[in-house]
Structure formats: C-alpha cells, structure tokens
C-alpha cells in the first residue's frame, strides 16, 4: 500500500491561519488589542505546556526552562523601564516567543510532522503572495481598504513605491511583517529538501513572495 502523507498538526494549522488573518479581526479586552495570532497563541500555549508535562514520551528540559526565563526577563525588563505600557509590550513579545516555541516543541515531534508543517507553511506563503501580488502591481492596498469598509476599523496604511512598484501589505500590518513571514523559513526549506529541483522551486517561491513587500529587512533575511 502507498504510504499516506502525515497530517499537519492542527495547532500548526491554527497558527498559520491566524497569521494570515488581518488585524481588523483583532479582539479588544480591557483596552488591550489581541490580534488573531496572539489569540491563537494564548489558546495553544497552556495546551502545549500541559502536553509536555503529562505525555510519557516528553518532558520539560533544561533548554525549555532557559526559554521560559528569557520570556520572563523580556516581560520584566520592558515593564521596569516603561511601566504599564512596557508590561503590555514585553508581555506581547514574551507570548509570541514562548507560544510559538512551545507549540512547535509539543506538536512537531517527528521528521514526518516537520515535513507536513513545511508543506502547510509553503501553502500559507503562496496564499499570502497571491493576496499581495495585485497590490504590488496595481498600487492599491486592497485587503485593508476592503476590511475598513466592512469593519469600520481604520488600520494606518500608506502607498509607498520602490522600483516603480507598490509595497504590498497583503493581510499583514506592514510590508515588513509580510516580507518577514515569507522570508523567515528559507534556510529550513533549503536544507531540509533533498531534491535540488524542489529546493530551487521553494527558494524561488519564497524569494518572489518576499520581493512583493519591497522591504530591505526581509530581503537581507534571505541573504
């Protein structure tokens, strides 16, 4: 019988989808803005920790403790220097770092799960690219313009051009965020792929997707 492809872990799917959800779908609680990806991490973080604690084949290791201490240090340092605003910002940074790390730590455990996660990631990047491409070519930020009319929330955007093309936002808060999402996994896709043809296809896809944001930082990430 042919071997079936392993399924993508559901928490990974949820996080990828949440990154593609625009900021207009944020939830506001007591004056705090919780964009979709933070909501997903808030939900999944305790589940991932519980899975590591109770699963017989997993356990909290020394490097996990160090990462938790890093998160606490981030939260404390920003709070000490900037008060309540610093606690909010530091807490957001700590949640995104710890949440993403522990979800991967708990749910991406095998080579097959990693490859399934990579397939889902490249699909998410292609989806982001297809949304961004019309903005780059036609000079209008379609997603945020449309959602402003639907939700009434005005996300600050600006039409910026470089090389005669418009910097695309896609569903992200800023072209830098869009470009970073597309560029961040290039090294993983390059070195985890054994076939030279697939390696070049993946690299070309990520590079083209990143270019649509016309942002130097993500391009340097590719370099």
For the stretch 79-135, pLDDT in tens is 999 888 888 889 999 999 999 999 999 999 999 999 999 999 999 999 999 999 999
Residues with Cβ < 8 Å from 106, sequence gap 6 or more?
Answer: 11, 47, 48, 49, 51, 52, 58
Give CA separation, 40 vs 3, 84, 103, 134, 206, in Å: 32, 23, 10, 28, 24
* Beta strand 27-29 pairing with 32-34: antiparallel
CA 65 to chain centre: 23
Give CA separation, 198 vs 3, 124, 181, in Å: 20, 17, 20
Please identify which residue in the block is written with the tokens 């993500």: 218
CA 78 to chain centre: 23
Strand spans (E) along the chain = 27-29, 32-34, 161-162, 165-166
For position 22, what pLDDT does the model report? 93
Q: What is the dihedral of CA 162, 178, 130, 200, to 10 degrees?
A: 90
Residues of the chain with pLDDT under 50: none
Say if residues 171 and 164 touch (Cβ distance below 8 Å). Answer: no
Q: Please, what sign has the CA dihedral across residues 193, 197, 200, 202?
A: negative
CA 128 to chain centre: 11
For position 120, what pLDDT does the model report? 94
DSSP, collapsed to helix, strand or coil, labels residue 156 as coil
For position 165, what pLDDT does the model report? 92
For position 2, what pLDDT does the model report? 54
User: Which pTM was predicted?
Assistant: 0.88
For position 3, what pLDDT does the model report? 61
Residues with Cβ < 8 Å from 213, sequence gap 6 or more?
Answer: 132, 167, 168, 175, 176, 178, 179, 182
For position 156, what pLDDT does the model report? 86
């Amino acid at each position: 019988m042919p071997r079936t492809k392993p399924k993508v872990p559901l928490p990974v799917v949820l996080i990828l989808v949440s990154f593609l959800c625009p900021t207009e779908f944020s939830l506001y609680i007591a004056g705090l803005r919780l964009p979709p990806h933070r909501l997903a991490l808030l939900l999944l973080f305790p589940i991932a920790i519980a899975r590591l604690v109770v699963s017989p084949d997993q356990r909290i290791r020394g490097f996990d403790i160090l990462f938790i201490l890093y998160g606490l240090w981030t939260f404390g340092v920003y709070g000490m220097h900037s008060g309540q605003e610093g606690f909010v910002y530091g807490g957001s940074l700590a949640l995104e770092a710890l949440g993403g790390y522990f979800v991967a730590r708990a749910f991406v455990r095998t080579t097959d799960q990693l490859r399934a996660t990579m397939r889902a990631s490249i699909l998410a990047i292609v989806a982001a690219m297809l949304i961004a491409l019309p903005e780059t070519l036609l000079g209008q930020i379609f997603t945020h313009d449309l959602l402003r009319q639907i939700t009434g929330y005005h996300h600050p955007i600006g039409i910026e051009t470089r090389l005669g093309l418009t910097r695309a936002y896609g569903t992200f808060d800023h072209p830098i965020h869009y470009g970073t999402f597309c560029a961040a996994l290039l090294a993983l896709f390059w070195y985890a792929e054994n076939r030279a043809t697939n390696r070049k296809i993946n690299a070309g896809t990520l590079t083209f997707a990143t270019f649509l944001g016309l942002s130097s930082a993500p391009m340097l990430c590719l370099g």
